[in-house]
Amino acid sequence: MSYNNILVEIIDKVAKVIINRPKKLNALNKETIAELHTAFAELEADKTIRAIILTGSGDKAFVAGADISEFADFDVSEGAKLAKQGQELLFDFIENLSTPVIAAVNGFALGGGLELAMASHFRVASDNAKMGLPEVSLGVIPGYGGTQRLPQLVGKGKAMEMIMTAGMITAEDAQNSGLVNHVVQQEELISLCEKLAKKISYNSGTAISAAIKAVNANFKDGVNGFGVEIEQFGNCFGTEDFEEGTTAFLEKRKADF
């Protein structure tokens, strides 16, 4: 499948999804969001793909936010629809994928860009990355899950400060705050993400999918995460991966998932 705004590359069991609007600092317009949804849905359906790296093209930006030119004249109902559709099509969709998504934050991750990185399962940043939720400087608030996911990752006080000041934090600050797991030089960003993805790909995909469901349950209203863990743990015992994993251990060989 070919796209206008994104590139998809597959090497071995790892896919790379690259948002490719460098002249607009990879800002998320409606078409890009729709293309990302389609690409992620296709990669999720392909059970040979064991991890996805999400990044931006160029060396300046991951994503500099939602495309401001598209919503500048929206009214109240159009604004609500924009947030709802975006959350459903992309942000919640990525968070709930069975296939792990690593955000490789290679520069500005602002507004919808940071929200996209936060919807991914974890984040790695280049040392030039700058992150923030600048929406209140535009007279709006984060609408793609930022008010919910940022406090989950950095705590309420830090999230409040970042949202209220509309400022940007450095990659180092983001790492100290728990927003990103690793910071590396820009030239090393993709290779570190590939290493992590490869490591993930050696493990059981069905077990990883169950683990994502259980961890996500911790953050869902009205859902008993411990209950989900029990259910998912039990389900693992009925999988071929469990049989292979435990048999391989007992036979003193590496499991082949």
Q: Is 115 a catalytic residue?
A: yes
Q: Is 169 in the site for ligand COA (CB under 6 A)?
A: no
Beta pairing partners, 190? none
Kindly indicate which of the ranges 85-93, 133-141, 146-154, 241-249 contains the residues binding ligand COA, using the contact rule CB under 6 A: 133-141
- For residue 36, which of 24, 48, 44 has the smallest C-alpha distance? 44
Contact present, 23 and 60 (Cβ < 8 Å): no
Q: Which long-range contacts (CB under 8 A, 24 or more apart) does 32-39 make?
A: 32/5, 32/6, 32/67, 33/85, 33/86, 33/89, 33/90, 34/89, 35/3, 35/4, 35/5, 35/6, 36/6, 36/90, 37/89, 37/90, 37/93, 38/1, 38/3, 39/1, 39/3, 39/6, 39/8
**SS3 of residue 6 by DSSP:** strand
- Of 56, 86, 134, 145, the one binding ligand COA (CB under 6 A) is 134
- Of 35, 55, 108, 206, the one binding ligand COA (CB under 6 A) is 108
Q: Is 107 in the site for ligand COA (CB under 6 A)?
A: no
Nearest to ligand COA of 15, 117 (CB atom)? 117
Q: How many residues line the site for ligand COA (CB under 6 A)? A: 16
Q: Is 27 in the site for ligand COA (CB under 6 A)?
A: yes
Q: Is 67 in the site for ligand COA (CB under 6 A)?
A: yes
- Minimal distance in Å, beta carbon 31 to ligand COA? 13
- Minimal distance in Å, beta carbon 79 to ligand COA? 11
Q: Is 62 in the site for ligand COA (CB under 6 A)?
A: no
Q: Which of 115, 194, 240, 244 is catalytic?
A: 115
Q: Is 25 in the site for ligand COA (CB under 6 A)?
A: yes
Kindly indicate which of the ranges 12-20, 41-49, 66-74, 187-195 contains the residues binding ligand COA, using the contact rule CB under 6 A: 66-74
Q: Roughly what angle, to the nearest 10 degrees, separates helices 225-236 and 205-217?
A: 170
Number of residues that this document lists for the chain: 257
Nearest to ligand COA of 165, 239 (CB atom)? 165
Q: Is 187 a catalytic residue?
A: no
How far apart CA 169 and CA 167 sit, in angstroms, is 7
Which residue type occupies 26?
Answer: N
- Which residue's structure tokens are 């990355």? 129
Q: Interface with ligand COA by CB under 6 A: which residues?
A: 24-25, 27, 64-69, 108, 110-112, 134-135, 138
